Chain A
Amino acid sequence: MNTNLLWLIPTLPFAGFLLNGTLGRKLPRAAVSAIALLFTLAPALIVADLWIYMKSAAAPLAISVTSRPWIAITGFQVNFAFAVDHLTLIMLAVVTGVGFLIHIYSAGYMAHEEGYWRFFAYLNLFMFFMLVLVLSSSFLLLFVGWEGVGLASYLLIGFYFTKDSAAKAGKKAFVVNRIGDFGFLLAMFLLIQHFGSLDFGTVFSKISATPITGGFLTTIALLLVLGAAGKSAQIPLYIWLPDAMEGPTPVSALIHAATMVTAGIYMIARCHTLFDRSPYALGVVACIGAATALMAATIGMVQHDIKRVLAYSTVSQLGYMFMACGVGAYGAGIFHLMTHAFFKALLFLSAGSVIHALSGEQDMRVMGGLRKRIPITFWCMTMGVFAIAGIPPLAGFFSKDEILYQTFLWDNPLAKLLWAVGLFTAFLTSFYMFRLWFKTFFGAPRFEEHGPSHAPDLHAAHGAAVHASKSSTLTLEAEHDSAHAHGVHESPLVMTLPLMILAILSIIGGWVGVPLAFGGHNEIEHFLGPVFNPTEHVAEHIATRSAEPILATISVLTAALGFFVAYFFYYRKPGTAAALAQKFQPIYSLLDHKYWVDEIYGLVIVAPLLMVSRFFLGGIVEAGLVQGTSATLAGTTRGAGSIVRRMQSGNIRSYAGWLAIGAAAVIAIVLFTH
């Protein structure tokens, strides 16, 4: 294994970005997608090779490559350096693997969109920065990737930049992320001040070597949490993620579900040495995670936009991962990160397929009955829904159960409370996912046909209605400039193939973490063991797992309860939910308005800031100070000029006079200074 191959992993997508970004406009679509896919597949293959190498017994626990110094000043140096250990390996596999699948899907999904080349250039740019982020072995290079994925996210959320809401959502994501980045930057400054280095190895070994706890370490940890909360959409900075759904659906799947938003969790896991020294910061992480999980899940219950439900679900699941990190179960957090990447990417892509089938419709109130019309999408999405709801033996069950179990065992008075919150969230998750499932795929179709359908099971009456209105729909279709407005149809293979692969991954993805209590080996725990507890033997703390089967049974029952409630509300008695909403109007409207968080932020933060900008900065500083100063300066200069310009009369003899006076002055100076 040539370690220099590590450089290639991020560089290849960057090359793809450059190619598509500069030449893409002139290339045919097939060539654009071929370039993008090739430059994403190649890193995936390198990662696979790397994986095989690292799995072999002889391999070191971590490999690294370092280039020449990047920043070198007295007493402080940062290199371009990459390192791969088992944690990075999992992230690499998820990013390149899921990333490649989503690239394939995008080739089909975006086929009719304007700016095809731009889309793929941005996607490859994102891959580049994300790979830099996970590969870097210093805070600074990680920050480069961190900012870079933020940029790519901004560009892709605002991909339909002519749409006002999309442009605004991109801006919102960027600004909210800046708040988190501010925390990250301060944390880096503190690290430089206290450790004189930003290299992971140096910083962490220094922390391990000295018995310091709390104090500035807590400050650093909390600032890092702020950064992570921004990137991973946690309270109080989660507000950008639901709006980020304005981007194309593959983007939501790749960036806002599977990879970028997990960067915060990755960062916390990466800095576990630091967090382990600060129980207070860990407690904050756990509480933020639990609160976000619960809050987002409750909002997700009442959303009507299929992508928004998934967005809040993502926020909620990220909260789970945060909670896992907070209780010190980093392995469980990363495990859930991986399974979540599989099933959430699957859910988003399936949702994209549904939206594609309905020619851009995202509102679940006008879906329904799609089960037989788009069967492949239906079955794939079913796997995703079951996986996220925590139905065994699908992926989500094992990872979520591991998190709940570790939370239960947490050595903290809050442990049981957080566990209960997690369990309740699991119920809500199951409920809103099955709500989505039933509303989309079951019941009577609530959408209007856009044209002759290819589906064989069309109801006769419905078909007649379609034929009766055929002439009018044809004109409608002509007005509809979307190229795929031709009835409900299953997506092409290029889109369904990634769905099927992800569905299989969503089923089997959790099997690497089957706990001992169920006869598994919890391989992922062993795999990550060297990263998270290099001294401790993993086997020791697995031995005490007697409570696990009971807890697992409880969470399965919870998931089942969620299913039955959703079944009852949205399948058996579809009116019940609306009646309940009517009955508990205040609660419903609270949830429907997302706790008015956007409005509160607008009132408490944005409005005062705007006031300050407009009246203090704009009125006093800008108009008074800045413009006043420059006006005074300009006036003085002009006044001086109007005096001096009298010398320049245009009269040759006056010039000659000045010349003579000047010459006389020079002679006088020469004479009298000697």
Chain B
Amino acid sequence: MVPIAYYLVLAAIIFCIGIASFLIKRNVITIFMSIELMLNAVNLTFVAFAHMWHQVSGQIFVFFVMVVAAAEAAVGLAIIIALFRARQTLNVDSVNLMKN
């Protein structure tokens, strides 16, 4: 049986990759993907702990997160399409009409 620490370290690595790419990347789709990465890293820890403690509530929580993430993806992708149509760019730094 795989020890719990392995799952947690894996989840932490994935979360850090998510954060790093969120901070570094300029492409809005990549940023979107890194958010999904972070969410799934958290899901992984949930499942790991649920398995460890034999508690079903952690797994139920994961379902909720996935539902929210799906909804978010739907809205977010729609916004990205709209943005691209309007500005012909996916670079977040050039989408700064509201700044200042």
Contact = CB atoms under 8 A, between A and B. Distances in A.
Interface of A: 650-653, 656-657, 660
A651 B23 CA distance: 11
B100 A660 contact: no
A660 B99 contact: no
Contacts of A650: 96, 99-100
A657 B19 CA distance: 8
Interface in B83-98: 92-93, 96
Contacts of A657: 23
Nearest to A659: B19
A657 B23 CA distance: 6
B23 A660 contact: yes
Interface in B15-38: 19, 22-23
5 contacts: A650-B96, A651-B93, A652-B92, A656-B22, A656-B23
A526 B96 CA distance: 98
A654 to B, nearest CB: 8
Q: Which 10 A-B pairs have the closest CB atoms?
A: A650-B99, A657-B23, A660-B19, A653-B23, A656-B23, A656-B22, A650-B100, A660-B23, A653-B22, A652-B92
Nearest to A651: B93
Contacts of B99: 650
A658 to B, nearest CB: 10
Contacts, number: 14
For the residues of A in contact with B, the DSSP-based class is helix
A637 B19 CA distance: 34
B80 to A, nearest CB: 15
B5 to A, nearest CB: 15
| Residue among A653, A656, A660 with max Cβ neighbours from chain B (10 Å) | A653
A653 B95 CA distance: 13
Contacts of B96: 650
Contacts of B22: 653, 656
Contacts of A652: 92
B22 to A, nearest CB: 6
A652 to B, nearest CB: 7
Contacts of A656: 19, 22-23
Contacts of A660: 19, 23
A661 to B, nearest CB: 10
Interface string B60-100: 00000000000000000000000000000000110010011
A384 B62 CA distance: 106
Interface string B27-55: 00000000000000000000000000000
Contacts of B23: 653, 656-657, 660
A650 B22 CA distance: 16
A591 B99 CA distance: 80
A196 B25 CA distance: 79
Given A650-B99, A656-B22, A660-B19, 11 more contacts: A650-B96, A650-B100, A651-B93, A652-B92, A653-B22, A653-B23, A653-B92, A656-B19, A656-B23, A657-B23, A660-B23
A650 to B, nearest CB: 5
Nearest to A652: B92
Contacts of B93: 651
Nearest to B26: A653
Nearest to A654: B23
| Residue among B19, B96, B100 with max Cβ neighbours from chain A (10 Å) | B19
Nearest to A660: B19
A660 B22 CA distance: 11
Contacts of A653: 22-23, 92
A651 B94 CA distance: 11
A660 B18 CA distance: 11
A200 B99 CA distance: 74
Nearest to A663: B19
Nearest to B22: A656
A650 B100 CA distance: 8
Nearest to A649: B99
Contacts of B19: 656, 660
A655 to B, nearest CB: 10
| Residue among A650, A651, A652, A656 with max Cβ neighbours from chain B (10 Å) | A652
Nearest to B100: A650
B11 to A, nearest CB: 14
A660 B92 CA distance: 19
B95 to A, nearest CB: 10
A501 B96 CA distance: 90
A660 B93 CA distance: 20
A470 to B, nearest CB: 81
| Residue among B23, B92, B96, B100 with max Cβ neighbours from chain A (10 Å) | B23
